Amino acid sequence: MSSNNPIPPDAERAAAPAPGAEPPPGATDTYRATRAVKWADFREHLATAERDGARKWIYAKKPSGRWYDRRTWLGWVLLVVMFSGPLIKIHGNPLLMMNVVERRFSILGHIFWPEDGIIFAVAMLTFFVGIMIFTAAFGRLWCGWTCPQTVLMELVFRKLEYWIEGDAHQQKALDAAPWSVHKFGVKLVKHVLFFAISFLIGNTLLSYLIGSDQLFHIIVDNPLRHLGGLTFMVLFSVVFYLIFARFREQACTFICPYGRFQSALLDENTMVVAYDPRRGEKRAPWKRDQRLELRREEGNGDCVNCHQCVSVCPTGIDIRNGLQMECVNCTACIDACDSVMDRLKQPRGLIRFASLSGLQTGQPMRFTARMKLYAGVLVALISLFLYLVGTQAEVEAIFLRAPGAMFQSAGEGRLSNLYTVKVVNKSHHDLPIEFRLLNHEGNVRVLGAARFVALQERIAETSVLVDIAANTLTNSSTRLEIGVLADGKQVSIVKTGFIGPRH
């Protein structure tokens, strides 16, 4: 399906105008029928597919205009952040790292451990609710302006393509031409550059996963020791090359789940890129030296049916058909139409950012009850996230009784239990760790090294022996509270059980 609107039954469809479009005054039956057929046509097959299902290659015309300039500037900033992200460190930690293999995650230089699952889940939930509220208010602005897929496709690969092969009509002519030395050379240069950039993107993604230090190590070390890492390097490069060289807009229309669930998030108050049918209909070509009054008298609107908005669209749709799933709000059609209006000395904004209800009523954007609800949830989640991060202990310890071990005699009427202990040091410095029994007389002794040190941002493991005088035990299982001291200062308390003989 190509739109958010339900498909009407055949009988209704035959008489329906375009979605959102009022039939213009004096609209003839022929006009209505033509519009209905066009509407039915766009709703029943994808703009990027032929009727037999074959891929229809989109040759998008090079966009230009104020919105494109703004998008380009934002895109350059995002590209700098994207490629330099893995190299930027805060407190020695990457700006962003999702090391799934070692289960280490760094967001804004803050390391999250598997033990911080709740904080991580709240962070992810906050991110998704943020996108939801943003979508409810501003549609797919994320897709057209900030999504890495669109930024890379439109501002890197597409620009490179225009530079090497020319604008849309030249690209189309080159593809239609028989193979020649010139065509082979042009295609070779393009695809080599595409693969080189894909390699760079693949390596960047890998460094977001494993960290730039580890990636650098893989590059300079003996390749035979890093076959896994090298395999991913090649795999990511090939996948990105295929996406940007072949798959392109289909990633947004077929694969991206966000594009799929946007229809549940948008409503008539959402700001979207929209064509104003009240102003534009009925469409008619602009006749040379035509007087505006005469055009109005003939019942024509401002749309001159020049198809400039369609030819620049990277997803190949006609925005005049109404809101469609394929629209990524890239605003290229706004620029194209504005430049046509400028040439015709008509006001800009026949295609503009507007809500569907705003188009009908002329009212500005409203902050709806749904948006307020999302905003409330978002504020609550951000508060919860800040609270969890703010109250997070720098050192966490887990005491587990050694598997299979019972109590042992420690001599002089004392009994001992053996524990395996895991200490997570989330601070940015190494910490000497000690333990102290808080609610019972007894000793806690770390086995092995004389001094137990937890290295910064690492998990340290050791074995600990707790011994207690047998005559102070009143139960076969005694609850113990053990203080964890980092650098001589108590930083947390762990609870565990001590097994003794039956009484």
Applying CB under 6 A, which part among 3-11, 151-159, 206-214, 317-325 lies near ligand SF4? 317-325
Interface pick for ligand SF4 out of 171, 329, 417, 427 (rule CB under 6 A):
329
Interface pick for ligand SF4 out of 147, 155, 325, 336 (rule CB under 6 A):
336
Q: CB neighbours of 191 closer than 8 A, spacing ≥ 6?
A: 245
Structure tokens at 500: 């003794």
204: left (phi over 0), alpha (psi -120 to 50) or beta: alpha
Rule CB under 6 A: say whether 350 interacts with ligand SF4: yes
Query: Which lies closer to ligand SF4 via its Cβ, residue 119 or residue 304?
Result: 304
Position of tokens 């940007």?
244
Contact between 280 and 302 (Cβ < 8 Å):
yes
- E strands, 327-442, where? 351-354, 395-401, 408-411, 414-425, 431-437
Applying CB under 6 A, which part among 152-160, 327-335, 428-436, 460-468 lies near ligand SF4? 327-335
Rule CB under 6 A: say whether 356 interacts with ligand SF4: no
Backbone angles phi, psi at 386, to 5 degrees: -65, -40
Query: Which lies closer to ligand SF4 via its Cβ, residue 109 or residue 299?
Result: 299
- E strands, 285-428, where? 351-354, 395-401, 408-411, 414-425
Q: At closest approach, how far in Å is the CB of 276 from ligand SF4?
A: 9
Structure tokens at 311: 């030819």
Geometric angle at alpha carbon 475, from 474 and 480, rounded to 5°: 95
How many angstroms separate the CA atoms of 260 and 36, rounded? 26
Rule CB under 6 A: say whether 359 interacts with ligand SF4: no
Q: Which helix (H) or strand (E) holds 340?
A: helix 332-343
Rule CB under 6 A: say whether 355 interacts with ligand SF4: no
Query: Which lies closer to ligand SF4 via its Cβ, residue 324 or residue 416?
Result: 324
Rule CB under 6 A: say whether 126 interacts with ligand SF4: no
How many angstroms separate the CA atoms of 339 and 352, rounded? 13
Rule CB under 6 A: say whether 321 interacts with ligand SF4: no
Q: At closest approach, how far in Å is the CB of 359 from ligand SF4?
A: 13
Interface pick for ligand SF4 out of 71, 158, 282, 320 (rule CB under 6 A):
320
Applying CB under 6 A, which part among 189-197, 221-229, 333-341, 495-503 lies near ligand SF4? 333-341
Backbone angles phi, psi at 298, to 5 degrees: -80, 0
Applying CB under 6 A, which part among 2-10, 121-129, 288-296, 301-309 lies near ligand SF4? 301-309
Helix pair 117-138, 369-390: axis angle to 10 deg? 160
Position of tokens 């030249």?
170
Helix and strand numbers (H, E) in the chain are 19, 16
Rule CB under 6 A: say whether 205 interacts with ligand SF4: no
Q: At closest approach, how far in Å is the CB of 340 from ligand SF4?
A: 5
Binding mask 258-287 for ligand SF4 (x = CB under 6 A): ---------------x-x----x-------
Applying CB under 6 A, which part among 117-125, 180-188, 298-306, 479-487 lies near ligand SF4? 298-306
Rule CB under 6 A: say whether 305 interacts with ligand SF4: yes
Count how many residues are written for the chain: 503
Interface pick for ligand SF4 out of 156, 271, 325, 333 (rule CB under 6 A):
333
How many angstroms separate the CA atoms of 98 and 209, rounded? 5
- HEC string of 190-250 equals HHHHHHHHHHHHHHHHHHHHHCHHHHHHHHHCCHHHHHHHHHHHHHHHHHHHHHHHHHCCH
Query: Which lies closer to ligand SF4 via its Cβ, residue 116 or residue 249?
Result: 249
Q: At closest approach, how far in Å is the CB of 310 from ligand SF4?
A: 7
Q: At closest approach, how far in Å is the CB of 252 from ligand SF4?
A: 9
Rule CB under 6 A: say whether 70 interacts with ligand SF4: no
Query: Which lies closer to ligand SF4 via its Cβ, residue 229 or residue 314?
Result: 314
Rule CB under 6 A: say whether 444 interacts with ligand SF4: no
Query: Which lies closer to ligand SF4 via its Cβ, residue 265 or residue 460?
Result: 265
Q: At closest approach, how far in Å is the CB of 48 from ligand SF4?
A: 12
Sign of the dihedral through C-alpha 171, 176, 180, 184: positive
Rule CB under 6 A: say whether 495 interacts with ligand SF4: no
Position of tokens 């469609």?
324
Position of tokens 């993107």?
201
The three-class DSSP label of residue 64 is coil
Count the residues of the shown chain that bind ligand SF4, applying the rule CB under 6 A. 29
Chain contacts with ligand SF4 (rule: CB under 6 A) = 273, 275, 280, 303-309, 312-315, 317, 319-320, 327-333, 336-337, 340, 350-351
